[in-house]
Chain A
Amino acid sequence: MDLTKIKKGFPGLTANVGKCFYDAIVATMHRAKHPEFVSLNLTGDNKKVIPLRWKDSFNDQIDRTFKEDSSMIDAAASGVSCLLATEETDYTIVERGYAGSGFDYYLGYEDEPLFSKSARLEISGIKKENDKNTPEGRLKMKLKQTDQSDSSGLPAYISIIEFSKPRAIFQKK
């Protein structure tokens, strides 16, 4: 999967934001000392190894922009998840809705009106997993939240990206 593709954005995600996501990916991958070709172990609905490609364009400006880890990981996980979602589902685009302290992401189709036939994309990112903070733990939490809201009607996908030994869980809720 070519991570530089996110720079072009999607019909529902402008190139400006795509570039910002990509800078966050570069900062995360650079700080994790990953090479420009690295494997992502995918589990969830599909199990496979996905080769990731990125260009290490890390510079002072990116360094200054992403001084704070949580914003960097949120944006990097959003970038990788958007690409992953369009590869792992038959949806073709990603759209955004403002949610108060961040964004909700939705998957959709290019020729349809805004958010029609949408599916929710729930994104979570982890810089470096440990016993107390794992992708499986985050998944459990997200599934638990679904139980609480007695969901129905709106399809949803969960995408959790771990960046230290890159792995992801992508599954339909």
Chain B
Amino acid sequence: MNDSDIKQLHNEAMDEAFYGEIAKKNNDFMKSQKHFKDAFEKEHEVVVYAISHNYEEPGRSILLKSCAALAKAINDYSQAEKLICLALSGNPPAEISEELRNMYEDVTFYRHLQVKNYELQPSEIQVSMAGKGVSYGMGPIDSVMSRLKNFNTLSIRAAERCNGIPFRRVGKPNKQIINFAHSYLSVPKAASLSFIIRYTTPGHYDMGREFVPETEIIDDITKNLSFIENGEYSKLEENIPEINYRNNFISLARELAPDGDDINLFGITSVDSQGNILKTALKKTRIELSTDIDISVADESGESNYVVDEISGTLKVASDIAHSITIISKGNTKYSVQISDGLSDIVRNYFDEEVVAKVKKSNGNKLELISIDPCD
């Protein structure tokens, strides 16, 4: 074999991967796995040749990364892990190193999603986080606590929606929901950083037969988070037809999403009605989710009759009655921004903080909030 044969073999591997991707998009799992397996075997040969012939950077790490991605595609996480480590042991360019580290966290995250030394019950969810800021059993307080709090809000909203309760604009949830939300949090479990949340009602309280069981609510959350991770917004719309609930879910999912820095992965593990363990990872960063959502909203609405703008400043005053917030810019300009019902839970996270708000400017210069992010 020579360099020319290796180029040819690499091309064949990439063609197989290309057909694998097409089959995957057509939901033909068996066919896609066959193509990915063939692609992996060919690319592995290429990698062995490249290493034994001392290929220089960036070629060495690009080929190893490509082969690791194919190993991951056929669920051979152990092989993927070895290839990534081999790539990192060279001297890859900064971008490739970063991608390799992200891929490493990705392949090992599924291990973190395994529930260790504990039998997860149908009324429980394991929430896991991993990333540069997370060490074995420890994590940054702000990033971890805010995600747990937002996950709890998301669970409450899911319980209300699953029980047919109209979207609550203000006030507290009703007594049934408060009792559902009477959840318990375990001590952190070392893995990446995991917690078990148990949804349980106080012993003396009868939820009533008509109340949708917590297992269905957990299934609903799991399904909707995976729609968001896969960019399947039409399926999300089918599952959450009411726009306020849908916007609320999307916005809370953005709050849970990795920041790409301290937290690179957020995942939940649950048990379905057949006792199968379901592992759902949210790997897209907040920024990537925002792009997906913008595109999805743009595609839905087609031609728009409003302008989108960004406002930076401190979120100072909020009025539940007028359903609006005020953002004061550094130049002391006050912007009054209307918030739709679905976004009220998210706005509360940012009181008195520096934010960047994406707003719709419609006729009459009325500003309406699309999304809100903390300032970098």
Contact = CB atoms under 8 A, between A and B. Distances in A.
B62 A148 contact: no
A28 to B, nearest CB: 15
Contacts of A103: 14, 17-18
Contacts of A102: 21
Given A16-B15, A154-B94, A115 B7 contact: no
B63 A97 contact: yes
A110 to B, nearest CB: 10
B6 A114 contact: yes
A11 B6 CA distance: 12
A71 interface: yes
Interface string A1-34: 0000000000111101100100000000000000
Contact of A132 (B11, B260, B294): B294
User: Interface of chain A, helix or strand or loop or mixed?
Assistant: mixed
A151 B298 contact: no
Q: How many residues of A sit at the interface, in one of the four size bands?
A: 35 or more
Contacts of A145: 287
A105 B156 CA distance: 44
Given A14-B11, A115-B63, A131-B306, A152 B94 contact: yes
Q: How many residues of B sit at the interface, in one of the four size bands?
A: 35 or more
A151 B58 CA distance: 14
B95 A132 contact: no
A133 interface: yes
Contacts of A13: 11
Interface stretch (B66-74, B134-142, B194-202, B329-337): B66-74
A98 B70 contact: yes
Contacts of A16: 15
A153 B14 contact: no
A55 interface: no
B3 interface: yes
B56 A141 contact: no
Contacts of A95: 10
Contacts of B56: 116
A41 to B, nearest CB: 21
Contacts of A17: 14-15, 18
A154 B57 CA distance: 10
B11 A130 contact: no
Contact of A153 (B11, B17, B22, B93): B93
A69 B295 CA distance: 12
B94 A153 contact: yes
A136 to B, nearest CB: 12
Interface in B1-50: 3, 6-7, 10-11, 13-15, 17-18, 21-22, 25, 39, 43, 46, 50
Contacts of B294: 132-133, 137
A118 B58 contact: yes
B93 A154 contact: yes
A141 B287 CA distance: 8
30 contacts: A12-B7, A13-B11, A17-B14, A96-B14, A98-B13, A98-B17, A98-B70, A98-B73, A101-B21, A102-B21, A103-B14, A104-B62, A104-B66, A114-B3, A114-B7, A115-B63, A116-B55, A118-B59, A118-B62, A120-B95, A131-B308, A132-B295, A132-B308, A133-B295, A137-B294, A138-B291, A150-B94, A151-B95, A153-B94, A156-B95
